A and B are shown apart, each in its own frame.
Chain A
């Protein structure tokens, strides 16, 4: 029988099928961070268990960390405690830990691929929903809860019912100024934030295979925002070229062997998906969100949808959302004033995102009314930004670079957007209060964020791009 890529990897990792229950799935790589792991370690302690396979586990603190003065001790006591606790737990159990300020440090979903921990055909989990990022390499990667983190620590396995399979094909070629982020926001606006629930997505089509690895990671990262457990893309030359020579990737003859295996990782011709969607890249504009979930996105030239035809809780929920944002149905998004711009997060905190942002703002000036936070996703990204001379370009345009971490993606560290302020953000969630109590988030690509940063208002980036 023809199998999908997802089936092939999943089936190869089933240790046991529980009768009328979930599968016991073996996990190749477990990533942990400071927020969702302490209770799991506590659980192990209570049960008097050791970590079963510490060598398959890698840790880094990212959610709580400040993005300035990282050499100083963390000011917030609770944050500091969580970060220290992670380090201690790792020491106790012999887990590799990339601490703050070290070369390997960064947002967990950035450092995995960067160090080659993420490889095709693997099963990868982390107590964090955006683990879906790693699917860009043709891996099954998904976020788990803390009880499940404990399961993996204790047994390197997890109990999971097998999800359904969805294929999303994006044909054609992306227009000027349109990026992977826009594809993702476009898809979620079409299938909604629950459209993918119960499913694992495989992305296909020319617009997808033409994406760089960074773009693929952005797209897979946002799979979770459609409700899907994860998203994946079959590995190809682009994948292998990105991986070659990275720290944890097989080297020499091992690489050739691995490559032969990885080349097999694709859905068979005629394999059946439970759900299939097809979109055309030509229909996708630079996107921006106007509401309080990632599905509330439109092309940057469009108007906020009217409430006509909505009723009941649909309408109440929609109106509540717009009133939080301070917007009204029918209004035009372009031209609206903004206060903050955030470039960063596991969605758009990679080197390519900084290159695009820098290329866009080169020779322009940051608008005086805008506060911009530019936060690399990892130490390695930060180093590369410096090595490539991007810092000079950014600084000449009035921007400064911060240090790596989750930063303003979630209001857990010092980088919080003040109440009522508008933030054009390259992150992944525009929920109420996500960037700080009362903060208003507009999700967009790095290029659209750059356009807003230099004009001070929501702007179609295509207007400022050289032809």
Chain B
């Protein structure tokens, strides 16, 4: 799914008026709400998410994706809609952290490679891509062009094994208490 816009901020990903839920579910319906729908609720035909020719579980965004607020709802919305990977040449810090904490993989590629991805989709909306977390590579299947991406080894381990930070920290309680006593 291509979204060739820069500085996509969290207020666009999920507008504030949809942050009133007290559970994690159901945010996908309002993902990119104001770009996706007209005021009367009808879909905007020229927005990529509404174009039949595009689909898939990889969201490809312009540079500085996820800037703005710390609302984790943005990551939940992207995930809930069905995406599992977001690609950009640059992510805002908090969004990146939130994504990783929710099983959504942020993949940073070079600006040049990002352009190649957009070009590939423009040429062929059915172009496919392979993301290999183990090898840390992103591949444009049709041309076999590959770029490797970085991920913190600890986070990679968590993602691969479905572990989370909270369990890790709760296990450390004695150590934390000892630190406090210092």
A interface vs B, CB < 8 Å? 15-16, 18-22, 24, 26, 35-36, 38-39, 42-43, 47, 49, 52, 63-64, 76, 78-79, 81-82, 85, 127-129, 131, 143-148, 150-151, 154-157, 159, 161, 163, 193-194, 197-198, 227, 229, 293, 312-314, 316-317, 320, 410-412, 419, 429, 431-434, 437-438
Contact = CB atoms under 8 A, between A and B. Distances in A.
Nearest to B97: A145
B15 A22 contact: no
Contacts of B115: 312
A272 to B, nearest CB: 21
Nearest to B157: A21
B5 A411 contact: no
A167 B16 CA distance: 32
B94 interface: yes
A194 B63 contact: yes
Nearest to A197: B93
B78 interface: no
Given A129-B68, A431-B12, A155 B20 contact: no
A313 B63 contact: yes
Interface string B98-115: 100110000000000001
Given A22-B154, A145-B70, A39 B101 contact: no
A416 to B, nearest CB: 8
A15 B175 contact: yes
Contact of A157 (B69, B71, B72, B176): B176
A145 B94 contact: yes
17 contacts: A15-B176, A16-B175, A22-B152, A35-B19, A39-B22, A47-B170, A76-B20, A78-B20, A129-B69, A143-B69, A147-B72, A156-B180, A159-B169, A293-B9, A293-B67, A313-B62, A431-B9
Q: Is the interface of A mostly helix, strand, loop or mixed?
A: loop
Given A42-B23, A316-B5, A147 B152 contact: no
Residue of A85, A320, A412 with highest tally of chain B CB at under 10 A:
A412
Interface in B131-182: 152-155, 164-166, 168-170, 172-173, 175-176, 179-180
A35 B21 CA distance: 8
B79 interface: no
Contacts of B22: 38-39, 42, 81-82, 85
A317 B62 contact: yes
Given A21-B153, A227-B64, A156 B94 contact: no
Given A26-B179, A26-B180, A145-B75, A154 B170 contact: yes
Contacts of B172: 15-16, 24, 155, 157
**Closest 4 CB pairs between A and B?**
A21-B154, A78-B20, A145-B72, A38-B22
A128 B24 CA distance: 17
Residue of B6, B22, B72 with highest tally of chain A CB at under 10 A:
B22
A8 to B, nearest CB: 16
Given A129-B69, A227-B67, A148 B97 contact: yes
Contacts of A64: 20
B17 interface: yes
B95 to A, nearest CB: 8
Contacts of A313: 4-6, 62-63
A431 B93 contact: no
Contacts of B180: 26, 156
B28 to A, nearest CB: 15
Contacts of A26: 176, 179-180
